[in-house]
Every structure is written in structure tokens, then in C-alpha cells.
Amino acid sequence: MDLDDTAVRLGVPVEDLARVHRLAGDRPSAPLPARADAPAILDRLGVRPDDAAEVVAGWPDPGSPLWTPELRWLLDRSIALVRADLGGHDWLPPGPALPRERGPAWRHLYVYAYLALVDVVTAYHRDHGIDDAVTRATLADLGRNLAIDRRMAGEGWPVMQSWLTLHTRGGLYELGRLQHQRGDTIGLHIPEAGPLSPAAVDASLDRARAFFPRHFPDERHTEFSCGSWLLDPQLREYLPEDSNIVRFQRRFALEPYQEPDGIDADVEVLRFVFRTLSTPLDRLERRTALQRAAVDHLAAGRHWQWRVGRFPF
């Protein structure tokens, strides 16, 4: 295939397609479920009816005029790229960010890739003796992220398309309040799923301490870790000492601060606290103490920090 021509037709950098071509190679893809089965699968994955209707409307049926040959090639090779790293636990961009305003096939191409991999990763879970309830809770993060992206008017997806490859490779598990990412340490992530209470966090950590030795006995973990703006000590200037966020911070020994590559903590605060990247500061909500802290800090010309911390497993 002509990568230069395909890149022009897709409106993406040719180097991004060259990466897909290199990583996917001629490795096997995976089939999508039948369109007739899609509504039930999407419901099981926590996808809201409005998002599900849009996904089904753009389904890659044979002969669909929505799907050009270059889109079909990218879908097939993106599935192969992610499948080739089954069991991996690092962030893995499945392909280039597409101009999603061009229609449902463009907007949801990586959702279809996710759906094609559900059976693959479910079999991986079963091979490791993982309970179906954990599989279901973990994979239902698709619906959560589609709903967030809708709230963000499409601003959130370029990050989410890489994030969701952790789920489809068996690299991340939702165990109660926290999501746990395999690696040298167990990386903690905080989904949008209610209060971050100490009791809920303790229960999730206890589940992880039993889960990983049982299902991945060849891996040895001695620490939990987290990288997040939520660990920024500057938050203590604004939040009470008994707040859930401050109590969560106290669990960690922070590493010395270093400016992270490719992460802007100010942007991440806007993404997670307000679910917008483009609303002016003076128009952001100020209903909660965290929202007021985020706005006041940035309005004063200060910046948030992305901090990394650890504590024993």
C-alpha cells in the first residue's frame, strides 16, 4: 500500500501510519461482533444509549459507504497492533488521531477496534482465572469514557483511545474504587466513580493485594504507585486536611519533582475537574472546593504539578 497516499486521504501524518504499518505488520487482526449483537455488547460495556446508537449507526458493515478502503485498512491494522501486545501494560497508541468530525466511522474507529478485541481479552482473563465480574467492570470503562468524551464535545478522545488499549491487552483491572495497572509497580488510577473515601480505597487496595499474586503469580510487586495532579501538595493550600484527596495524598511518599515529558498538569486538571479544555477560566464552575482551588490557582498565574508517589504493596 502507498502510505503517503493513505495518509493524505486520512488527513494524518504519514509517520503515524508508518508506525502502525511497522508495529502491526502482517499479524492477525480480530473480527468485530455481528451488528445484531452490538446493542447487547455495548450495554454490557456500560455504553449509554445515545453513544450506543451512534456506534451502531457507523458499524463497519461490508459495503458501507461510510467506510473507505483506507479506514478499513487502519481499523484492521490497529486491531492487529493492539492484539500483538496482548498482556502488555504500557500505554499504546493504537493509531493516529483522526478528524472525527468527518462522521461516525472516523469518530469511533478505535471504539470498533476495542469491540473487536473484547473476546480476545476476555479469553486472556479466563486463561488467568479472572472472575467474569472483574472482566465486566474493567471493560465497562469504554462506556464511561464515551460519556466523558460526549461531555467534553470530543476534546477527550485522543488521550482515551490510547488509555483504553490497557483494558484490551489485560494490562489494567478495575477492583472496586481504583483501577490497577500492571507493571514494575501496580499503578493506581482513579476513575470517575464516586467519592474517593479512605474506606473505598482501602478495600480496593486489599483486593489488589490478593488479586495480582493469585492471577499473575510470576510477577512480583512490592509497591503501589501513582502519577497524578491529585498528588500535588499545593492542593493542601486549598483543601481541608480531612478531605478525601488530602487523605489519599498522605498514603504516598513523593518522588522529587521533575517536569514530566508530554504531560501538562494544568491541562490535566481542566480535563478531570471540569471535563473541558477550552472553557475560559472565568466561565468554569466553582461549585466545589476542588473546582474553586483549580480556578483560583490558575487565575493567580500559578501552575499545577504532576507528581509521582509510591507506598508498599
Q: Cβ(266)–Cβ(298) under 8 Å?
A: yes
Binning pLDDT at 50, 70 and 90, where does residue 107 land?
very high
Residue 1 clears pLDDT 90, i.e. is over it: no
Average pLDDT over residues 278-287: 96
Residue 196 clears pLDDT 90, i.e. is over it: yes
Binning pLDDT at 50, 70 and 90, where does residue 155 land?
confident
Contacts with 12 (C-beta within 8 Å, 6 or more apart), sequence order: 96, 97, 98
Write out the H or E segment, with its range, that includes residue 123: helix 109-127
Binning pLDDT at 50, 70 and 90, where does residue 157 land?
confident
Cell match 512480583: residue? Answer: 220
Is 214 buried (19+), middle (13-18) or exposed (0-12) by CB count in 10 A? Answer: exposed
On average, the pLDDT of the chain sits at: 97
Spatial distance between the Cα atoms of 178 and 255, rounded to a whole number of angstroms: 21
Binning pLDDT at 50, 70 and 90, where does residue 140 land?
very high
% the chain with pLDDT above 90? 96
| Residue 113: other Cβ atoms inside 10 A | 28
Q: Cβ(211)–Cβ(173) under 8 Å?
A: yes
Task: Output the CA–CA distances (angstroms, integers) from residue 157 to 48, 108, 114, 144, 211, in the order listed.
Answer: 16, 10, 13, 12, 30
Give 228's strand partners. Answer: 307
Residue 193 clears pLDDT 80, i.e. is over it: yes
Q: Cβ(40)–Cβ(34) under 8 Å?
A: no
Among 116-130, 145-159, 293-307, the least confident range = 145-159
Pairing assessment for the beta strands 172-175 and 178-181 based on DSSP bridges:
antiparallel
Binning pLDDT at 50, 70 and 90, where does residue 34 land?
very high
> Does residue 74 or residue 159 have the better pLDDT?
74
DSSP string, 243-270: SHHHHHHTT-EEPPP-PPTT--HHHHHI
Render pLDDT for 207-237 as a digit per residue (tens, 0 to 9). Answer: 999 999 999 999 999 999 999 999 999 999 9
Average pLDDT over residues 306-313: 98
Flag whether the pTM goes above 0.85.
yes
